[in-house]
Amino acid sequence: MRGILAHKLSEKGVSQRKVSLYLGVTQPMISKILKKPLNEYYDELEKIGLPRDLVDHYINILLETCISNNYDRFILTSFTALNQMALRALCYTRNYLINICASGELRDPEIEYYKSVLSRLLGIRGLDRVIPEVGSNLVYAPKQPVHLGDVIGLTGRIVKVQGGVTYYGEPVYGGSRHVARVLMLVSKYNPRIRFCFNIICNRQIKATVVKIDPRVVTTGPHLSEEEFWEKIEEAAKEQPVFICDQGGLGLEPNTYIFTEDFEQLEYYLKKIVSI
């Protein structure tokens, strides 16, 4: 992972001095690392059950955090990413150890808080009725986000299963791209917003959310993804509680819910699913 990060940061024009600082090695060592072809690092990880797409997912999160010059966030995110990858590699090579729980784990209090509210959210009875086919994501910004790396979200999705909902993936900074970007746009015009969650969008949902809070903006349908983001930003300027997006070309209709705290989000979702 260090080898891949060194190559990727170098490609983006980051100095070897800064790369050595973030990766915890000397500058001459960075030069040595860069002499080894990038694909060889990928090949070594693949041998222990870590495919390139998974590696690139975590690499992109770490790159964004590093480039934003947030060293403390980079260290915490690095630990989370490496911990998840190490566990996957361990389970790949030693299946009988899958239930081992490592002790002495460094924990980020914001990630732990996210896990606790995620557990409460999954416990809402009837939530499966409003989960879109593409799945949902819960995103949380401990402070007003500037980069996607400031927003905690699942690397996977919340999905419907028989008898309820479940999730796959892990909560990490930068774990979500789509829903986190929606949150960032709304937070840009309403800095108090900290949570966003997406559910289905149809006539019944639109009628329901208007009764809950009139601050509802409808967007779409869109002809392109670029148009989607333009319209979401226009809607964000109105400081909505709900954006009912009608989707479009390659986009499933979604309703985005924005709140200042989780209790507010929980209240809205319970009202929606009870109708």
CATH of 109-274, one of 3.40.120.10, 3.40.225.10, 3.40.640.10, 3.60.20.40: 3.40.225.10
List for the chain the helix, strand, coil content (%; round to 5).
Answer: 55, 15, 30
Q: What is the structure's pLDDT at 183?
A: 97
Q: What is the structure's pLDDT at 147?
A: 86
Q: What is the structure's pLDDT at 94?
A: 63
Q: Which residue has the tokens 């980051």?
A: 14
Contacts (Cβ under 8 Å, ≥6 apart) of 206: 216, 218, 244, 255
Given a contact cutoff of 8 angstroms between Cβ atoms, the answer to whether 239 and 215 are in contact is: yes
Q: What CA–CA distance (Å, rounded) separates 21 from 11?
A: 17
- The CA angle 68-259-198, to the nearest 5 degrees, is 80
Q: What CA–CA distance (Å, rounded) separates 10 from 12?
A: 5
Two tokens, residue 21: 């600082």
Contacts (Cβ under 8 Å, ≥6 apart) of 247: 201, 220, 221, 222, 253, 254
Given a contact cutoff of 8 angstroms between Cβ atoms, the answer to whether 138 and 127 are in contact is: no
Q: What CA–CA distance (Å, rounded) separates 156 from 38?
A: 26
Q: What CA–CA distance (Å, rounded) separates 173 from 77?
A: 7
Q: What is the structure's pLDDT at 97?
A: 47
Q: What is the structure's pLDDT at 120?
A: 93
For the stretch 129-139, what's the b/e string if a residue is b when 16 or more beta carbons lie within 10 angstroms of its beta carbon? Answer: ebbbeebbbbb
Q: What is the structure's pLDDT at 95?
A: 54
Low-confidence residues in the chain, pLDDT < 50: 97-106
Q: What residue segments make up the domains of the chain, in order of their start?
A: 2-97, 109-274
Q: What is the structure's pLDDT at 93?
A: 66
Amino acid at 251: L
Q: What is the structure's pLDDT at 102?
A: 41
pLDDT digits (tens, 9 = 90+) for 111-121: 989 999 999 99
- Which alpha helices (DSSP H) does 26-144 contain, by range? 27-35, 38-46, 52-67, 71-93, 109-122
End-to-end Cα spacing for the chain: 49
